[in-house]
Amino acid sequence: MKKELTRQQYLDLYYYMRLNRAVEDTMVKLFRQNKIVGGLYSSLGQEAISVGSAYALEKKDWLAPMIRNIGALLVKGVPPRDIFMQHMAKYDSPTKGKDGTSHFGDLDHRHIVSPISMLGDLIPVMTGVAMAGRYLGQKIVAMTWIGDGGSSTGVFHEGLNFAATQKAPFVLILENNLWAYSTPVRKQVPLEDLANRAKAYGIDSYIVDGNDVVAMYSTAKEAVERARGGQGPILIEAKTFRRLGHAQHDPAEYVPKEMRAHWEARDPITLYEKYLAGEKLLDAKNKKEMEDKIEALLGKEREFAENSPMPPAELAEEGVYCTGDDCHKIRAKWERPIAEVTPPKSSVAAVWTVPGFGSGKGSGGTNAPIHFGDAPVSAEKSAGARKPGAKILTKSAAKKTVKAEAASASRKARR
């Protein structure tokens, strides 16, 4: 680890990693008390990735977390109570109890796009966000995360190819935690370094130790600034390990003991504490103060969440379909003159005259006459000799109908 941040930044990274872990520890307790609705995923041992990469973004930038990126939500300023209530499907949660886990966003204030369960789908979505920001002149960067397993989906490749072709200001963090459910990465990807996937799309990539928060931050910061500077998308492979099972239901007995032991000895928070102590950035007193602060905060947040009611039954009927402005307001925030992207006004009036036919502004929904100078065709004539309701048949359909009619006639004759 190289010393290159301010003291406050070093301590912020520590605070968010500790908060990330404490929020998830609290949710494990809630889960065991049967207060969590649905599954509970863990980012134990991967906190440095969510925190270090999200900390590299500016306030105006956009991100879309996946299930193991609660740390990124905390860095963006989401209060822990929202995360608790969302997991408990409470009425005061961001989705009012209609969705669970970390499936919520905040488009207006924190620039968070809600996770999408289909792995990889956030890549084209966030590429679109990055392109929209560029179009509006906002100079933003969009970021999302994907797992080693998710990097084998079709949409990962389509999305990254699209981002690369469009030179979108987009940073993708590939969390290689060595497992996708019970599948080890070597059984689903014929590559040692998943960063090499970037080569297929002609974009740059980095490989970083995902358990070193300073390395994670510095690498992400460099990538974010390069993307913002117009160099196109960048892929960062963060090497790490999924310390628990896929979710609470999975004891992950398929993980070799030695592998687990190796990574447990490389806990990102313990490693960082050693670094901070060595650099005299954190002593026992500061550490205790921070722990007390987190404990007090989470005590309050958890109490609020537990006291929030479950949603009323009638709410199930509301908000099923988007009703436009009453549902949500999305307005483009132009930060460049709109005239720059508006085509010049036409000098030709949108009215035309056809010699011998008159002038008009458009069909107004009526049929065009067949020949110039035709009188309007009456409804009867245009229906022709066909009986009302009769279908026009193609040759082959007509043949089939004749056959079917003949078969039905012979059936009737036999009866």
Ligand X SMILES: Cc1ncc(C[n+]2csc(CCOP(=O)(O)OP(=O)(O)O)c2C)c(N)n1
Of residues 74 through 103, those in contact with Mg ion by CB under 5 A are none
Query: What is the C-alpha separation between 364 and 341, in angstroms, rounded?
Result: 30
Q: Name the residue among 36, 153, 138, 17 with its Cα closest to residue 87.
A: 36
Q: Name the residue among 115, 104, 41 with its Cα closest to residue 78.
A: 104
CB of 209 to ligand X, least distance (A): 17
Between strands 179-180 and 183-184, the pairing is antiparallel
CB of 179 to ligand X, least distance (A): 5
Q: Which is nearer to ligand X, 70 or 298 (CB)?
A: 70
CB of 203 to ligand X, least distance (A): 20
Indicate the DSSP class of residue 184.
Answer: E
Q: What strands lie across the sheet with 142-147, from one edge to the other?
A: 62-64, 142-147, 170-176, 234-239, 204-209
Coil, helix or strand for 360?
A: strand
Number of residues lying near ligand X (CB under 6 A): 16
Of residues 328 through 367, those in contact with Mg ion by CB under 5 A are none
CB of 5 to ligand X, least distance (A): 27
CB of 246 to Mg ion, least distance (A): 9
Of residues 130 through 159, those in contact with ligand X by CB under 6 A are 147-150, 153
DSSP one-letter string for 135-175? HTT----EEEEEETTGGGSHHHHHHHHHHHHHT--EEEEEE
Of residues 154 through 193, those in contact with ligand X by CB under 6 A are 175, 177, 179-181
Q: Which two tokens stand for residue 146?
A: 């994907």
DSSP element (H, E) containing 407: helix 395-414
CB of 152 to ligand X, least distance (A): 8
Number of H helices, E strands in the chain: 12, 9
Binding partner of residue 18 among ligand X, Mg ion, none, CB cut-off 5 to 8 Å per kind: none
DSSP one-letter string for 287-305? HHHHHHHHHHHHHHHHHHH
Assess 180 for contact with Mg ion (CB under 5 A).
yes
Of residues 238 through 297, those in contact with ligand X by CB under 6 A are 242, 246
Give residue number: closest CB to ligand X.
147
Among 6, 117, 347, 363, binds ligand X (CB under 6 A): 117
Residues 6+ apart with CB under 8 A from 222: 206
CB of 392 to Mg ion, least distance (A): 57
101 φ, ψ (degrees, to nearest 5): 35, -140
Segment contacting ligand X by CB under 6 A, of 102-110, 112-120, 339-347, 376-384: 112-120
Count other Cβ atoms within 10 Å, centred on residue 35.
17
Segment contacting Mg ion by CB under 5 A, of 92-100, 146-154, 233-241, 254-262: 146-154
CB of 395 to Mg ion, least distance (A): 57
Site mask, ligand X, residues 52-91, x = CB under 6 A? ----------------x-----------------------
Query: What is the C-alpha separation between 330 and 108, in angstroms, rounded?
Result: 8
Count other Cβ atoms within 10 Å, centred on residue 136.
16
Segment contacting ligand X by CB under 6 A, of 116-124, 133-141, 194-202, 279-287: 116-124
Q: Which is nearer to ligand X, 63 or 305 (CB)?
A: 63
Segment contacting ligand X by CB under 6 A, of 69-77, 84-92, 113-121, 329-337: 113-121
272 φ, ψ (degrees, to nearest 5): -70, -35
Binding partner of residue 20 among Mg ion, ligand X, none, CB cut-off 5 to 8 Å per kind: none
Indicate the DSSP class of residue 230.
Answer: I
CB of 119 to ligand X, least distance (A): 4
Residues in contact with Mg ion by the rule CB under 5 A = 147-148, 177, 180
